[in-house]
Structure 1
Amino acid sequence: MMLLGTLGSYQAGYAQEAEVELPPWARALSPAELQEDWDSLQQWILHTPVDPFAYQSHSQWDSLVAGIDSQLTDSLDNVAFFQLVNPVLSQMGDVHTRIWVPRGFSHYVWNDGFFLPMVVEELSGKMYVMQSRGGVIPPGSLLLEVNGVSGDSIREMLHRHAYTDGRIHSTRNVLLEESFYAQLPMVLDIDTLNEVKVQLPQMDEDSLIEVKGERLNIPTAKIARKKRKEAKVPYDHICHLDYVSGDSVAMMTIGSFSEGSLGKYRRFLKKSFKELAETGTTHLIIDLRDNRGGYLERGPMLYQYMTDSSFKYIDASIVRASRLFKNRIQYILKFPDLAISLFGGQIGKEYISGWKTPTGQYDTLYHDWVEPIKPKRQFSGKVYLLANGGSISNSSLFAHCFVANGRGPLIGEPVGGTVNGTFGNSIYFQLPNSRITGQLSTIRVNLRTGDFNYEPLSLDPDHIVEDKLDDLISGKDTQLQYILEQLIGISALPDSTMEN
């Protein structure tokens, strides 16, 4: 029984046959409603982010707009509309500007619809199946086809919906891996029984394997969401300090710059670096892989412990005042003028600028030098930084600061921020008819003094170390193993120590 087909297959039926029954998650939109949403989205894109043409030309934008305009003559459901306009935002090269899959479709995937119970990893432009329900597909199998659609085509379709700063492929790969099971039904028919063609690991032969489409159990999903909402994740699951080889080598994992209170983060840093001093640790590995960023001040707070000199974390942030930004500021502060006059020192200067700067104008805010922590708390040993395409926003800014000040080598994959900086301070919106929600950045963060360019490339590591298929299968941490063996000079540790 086919419950979910390729979303475009519903489009023509809306206009020609009124009796066509929509799937439970779909919302039919007339051409007039679609045009209103599309016009609203264009205006917000053009008048809210600092520079919507940072990584695309005006002619490229005009071509995309014309292509979408030509397809709004018939009715579409809201998910088909999402598929149509989403590439416009993903091509902007701003990971902080995006729209989200309509809630109806998310509800469908989580409660009613089929998904393919597989976990994939992308290596060298190919997708490999690392996990499958019941182990029906051997780990490390190269994904060739799903229901007759090639793995390369699936990868291309999913990449069109993945966001990144500039043109950083490593970020697209990470997002594809994370969203594979959830977004695959949006671009491909998933049935109760699916044919998955793979090339078995270390073999040249292909194998066609039947994989059951699965649904998430409704009560279980609801209970799980309730438990997640009620549970407080221990902070040591987000940020933690572990010793890899006796007391001489430690790894500090910073999973997020946004989760947990500022007080918990500050106490974690203070306690950890005090412990490193007491144990006499000489090698410190900072792990920012898949850290999506967060509060700007938490980056320099970490670097303060690694230097004895003042440093510039970022050079400047450019604010664009817009109607959407001002509405957001008013919603948060209620009475912005009064709040700024009374509590200006506690309000982010980007918010103050966004409120005071006339709509449509720009303001450049230059940032001060940051002083190091007290000498007795500073870590003077060798430091190594781990990062990948999932290290976006503030974690990419930290990587730039770390490299620019020559504190140590960067190891892993290209980080998720461009060589000039990133965007940020996103505000949320909702389209009037499709109810599609999204976010738009309101500031541009520049890294280097006087550098206002937009280069689409990422900061490359000093040591590019990509995941190895064999290590992924066995559970080893390829990048950590490289640091220990190649940079510190420790022989390979037991598998239980090397697990990622």
Structure 2
Amino acid sequence: MAQPKIPRGQLIQDLEILKRNLEAYHTGLYTYCSKETLDAWFETTQSQLPDSLTAYEFFRVVGPLNSLIANGHTYLHINPATREPHLNIPSFGIYKYQDSYLIKSTQQDEYQHLIGHKLVTLNGEPIGEVFQSLMKYRTRDGNNTTMPAEELQHYFALTYSLVYGSTETIQVTYQDDQGRSQTINIPSIPAEGNVAPSAAELLYDEGGVHFEIKDSVGILTVQTFNQAALEKVGYLAQLQSIFSEIAAAEIQHLIVDVRNNGGGNTPMVEALLSYLCDQPFVFYKGVYQAHRQWDTSIIPAVAEYPKISLGWAYLKKDPNGLYRITITDGIKKVHPQPNVFRGHLYVFGNGNSLSAAGEFGSFIKHHREATFIGEELGGNQVQNTSGQDLIMLLPHSQLAVKIPFVLWKMNVDTENDGHGVQPDYWVRNTIQQELSDEDAVMKFALKHIADLREGR
């Protein structure tokens, strides 16, 4: 059954509700997009609305707001609860390596032979253009592209169908083993039961830490900074044990791997930093929000306001016009641990190193010597707006909106260029390494360390 059409007047109401709440509560709204640009976007979008649209069609119009605002904790998406039951999606997944797009997986046995092959076009459109069109619908922090690229690869099939439409088949042109272009029609599959798992599953939010010593190199993998998950595994005690082992073994080279770490809570980051930074530190320069209380007259029927905000009883008006939060995480001095590591440090990161993981990388980058290997970290290295969110459904289209309202400014001395920490050595799995479950980053790092030891 086709989705019902929503009259233009109701679509305009949804746009107005969205704009008013963004302006009222999003403390970092104009970090990467000026007020003039955002106002013009809303005005143009409203003026170009047709007489009616379905929820999917409306999403295709307003979804690029995700990349315009460019705040990694802000999103505007189709509500999964209202997803069309008969939506079809491509049956294959893709992998991006530099400027190439390759078939990584397929849910249909008869197309297994396509895995690893380079895509050329989808339904006649060059795959690079398709990918960049879909990137507009993915959020990111500022000018960073590794975060949205990773998310888009993960959700490619669903995003493609939401933006380009649901079809029974999709025409695929790919390069065969001889480099010749071949075109076939691949049947689509139902979205129901076949959509990729959530980002939380992808980013190990229920994970912990793992430590091993290999070739006299310490390897510490931190899968998440989620406090609830880490408390389950005794994180603080684990750190104490790990760094005692590092000291006892006289380890001089330590890898900290925060790839696919989706972030979490500041105290968990500070705890790790206390073993890596040999001087006392304060994590944030300041923590702010734009409002002192909720204006429930804006959207009382469809908003669910958080009951507790961070330190609202301790808000102080700042000269910058925002309210400074004076009691919260990350603003007290942290002292180094007795067995702090002072040796050579290597940090692995990628586009899925988000939020607190991006902050961790930034603090290391600006407060001690370290070598970064992998890809640009997905989280911004100067600030982000996150921590507490207003979750709402637009009343007519039922599009889901998340508006973060706490602005966290890192205690680092660098200008915000809209990027996460850049790697000193860019390394990413090729499609062959990815399919073989290899780890090109680890392989590179261990060889790099061996070369340093040999004086090469």
TM norm. shorter chain > 0.5: yes
Amino acid at match of 1:159: M
Counterpart in the other structure of 1:139? 115
Within the candidate set 271, 274, 289, 1:319 is matched to 289
**Structure 2 counterpart SS, 1:165:** coil
5 Å-filtered alignment, 1:254-293, equals 254-258=222-226, 260-262=229-231, 264=233, 265-293=235-263
The 3-state SS of whatever aligns with 1:260 is helix
Decide whether aligned partners of structure 1 residues 244 and 298 sit closer, same or farther in structure 2, where only a CA change above 3 A counts: same
Alignment of 1:336-485 (within 5 A): 348-349=310-311, 351-353=312-314, 362-365=322-325, 367-373=331-337, 375-376=338-339, 378-425=340-387, 426-448=389-411, 454-485=416-447
Structure 1 segment 69-84 matched on structure 2, within 5 A = 69-84=46-61
Distance, in Å, in 2 between the alignment partners of 1:146 and 1:370 is: 53
- Output the TM-score relative to the length of structure 1: 0.77
Separation in 2, partners of 1:81, 1:238: 37
How do 1:230-309 residues align onto structure 2 when only pairs under 5 Å count? 238-243=207-212, 245=214, 248-258=216-226, 260-262=229-231, 264=233, 265-309=235-279
What is the TM-score when the length of structure 2 is the normalising length? 0.84
Supply the distance in 2 between the matched residues of 1:249 and 1:417 (Cα, whole angstroms). Answer: 27
- Tell me what 1:159 maps to: 135
Q: Which residue of 2 aligns with 1:5?
A: none
CA distance in structure 2 between the aligned counterparts of 1:94 and 1:404, rounded to whole angstroms: 22
One-letter identity of the residue aligned with 1:389: G
Other-structure match for 1:67: 44
SS of the equivalent of 1:371 reads coil
Rate the CA distance shift 1:281–1:187 in 2: closer, same or farther, 3 A.
same
Q: 1:76 to 1:193 in 2, by over 3 A?
A: closer
CA separation in 1, counterparts of 2:51 and 2:191?
33
Stretches of structure 2 lacking an aligned partner (at least 5 in a row): none
Gaps of 5+ in 1: 1-21, 334-346, 492-500
What's the CA shift for 1:236? 11
Q: What is the identity, as a one-letter code, of the residue corresponding to 2:348?
A: L
TM-fit CA distance, 1:92:
1.1
Match of 2:94 in 1: 120
The equivalent of 1:339 in structure 2 is none
SS at match of 1:434: coil
Instruction: Report the identity percentage.
Output: 19
Shift in Å, 1:261: 5.0
> 2 CA distance for matches of 1:73 and 1:44?
24
Aligned letter for 1:158?
L
Q: What is the one-letter code of the residue matched to 1:440?
A: I
Equivalent pair of 1:314/1:397 in contact (CA under 8 Å)? no
CA distance in 2 between partners of 1:136 and 1:317 (Å)? 50
Query: Counterpart of 2:423 in structure 1: which amino acid?
Result: P
- The one-letter code sitting in structure 2 at the alignment partner of 1:49 is H
Tell me, in whole angstroms, the C-alpha distance in 1 between the residues paired with 2:139 and 2:272: 27
CA drift at 1:409: 1.0
Contact 2:205 2:223 in 1 (8 A): no
The code of the aligned residue for 2:417 comes to E
Answer whether contact 2:74 2:404 (CA < 8 A) is retained: yes
Describe the superposition over 1:383-427 as per-residue Cα deviations: whole angstroms up to 9, x where unpaired: 211011211211111001111122421111111233432221232
Cα 1:419/1:294, change in 2 over 3 Å: closer
Pairwise CA distance, 1:51: 3.7
Q: Which moves more between the two structures, 72-81 or 462-471?
A: 462-471
**Matching of residue 98 in structure 1 with residue 75 in structure 2:** yes
Distance 2:344 2:448 in 1: 14
Q: Which among 127, 148, 171 is matched to residue 172 of structure 1?
A: 148
1:363-401: CA deviation from partner (whole Å, max 9, x where unpaired): 23572331112x14x334432110112112111110011
Aligned-CA RMSD value = 3.4
Letter of the structure 2 residue corresponding to residue 368 of structure 1:
K
Distance 1:67 1:121 in 2: 35
Q: Pick from 45, 50, 54 the counterpart of residue 31 of structure 2.
A: 54
Specify the alignment match of 1:13 in structure 2. none
Shift of the 482–194 alpha-carbon distance from structure 1 to 2, 3 Å rule, reads same
Contact 1:321–1:357 (8 Å) recurs in 2: no
The Cα of 1:190 is off from its aligned counterpart by 4.5
What is the one-letter code of the residue matched to 1:90? S
Partners of 2:162 and 2:35 lie apart in 1 by 30
Cα distance change, pair 183–329 in 1 and its aligned pair in 2 (3 A): closer
1:329 to partner: Cα distance: 10
Asked if structure 1 preserves the Cα contact closer than 8 Å seen for 2:373 and 2:424, the reply is yes
Partner AA of 1:384 in structure 2: Y
Q: CA deviation at 1:128?
A: 1.3
User: Contact conserved, 2:212 with 2:219, CA < 8 A, in 1?
Assistant: yes
Distance 1:252 1:78 in 2: 45
Cα gap change, 1:279 to 1:302, in 2 (>3 Å): same
CA drift at 1:311: 2.0
SS, match of residue 229 in structure 2? coil
Helix, strand or coil: the match of 2:377? coil
1: distance between equivalents of 2:99 and 2:134? 13
| Counterpart code for 2:101 | M
* Cα deviation, residue 150, structure 1: 2.6
Q: Which has the higher helix share?
A: 1
Q: 1:371 to 1:242 in 2, by over 3 A?
A: closer
1:199 paired residue among 164, 169, 175: 175
**Distance in 2 (alpha carbons) for counterparts of 1:392 and 1:297:** 16
CA apart distance, 1:448: 3.8
**Could you tell me which amino acid in structure 2 is paired with residue 123 of structure 1?**
Y
String of CA shifts for 1:108-133, please: whole Å, max 9, x gaps: 3xxx4322222211122332112223
CA distance in 1, matches of 2:258, 2:84: 32
The alpha-carbon distance between structure 1 residues 332 and 66, as it changes in their structure 2 partners (threshold 3 A), is closer
Q: Give a deviation string over 1:17-46, Cα, whole Å, max 9, x none.
A: xxxxx52xx343111211111100011112
Alpha-carbon distance change, 168 to 325 in structure 1, aligned in 2, over 3 angstroms: farther
Aligned length: 435
Residue 69 of structure 2 aligns to a residue whose secondary structure is coil
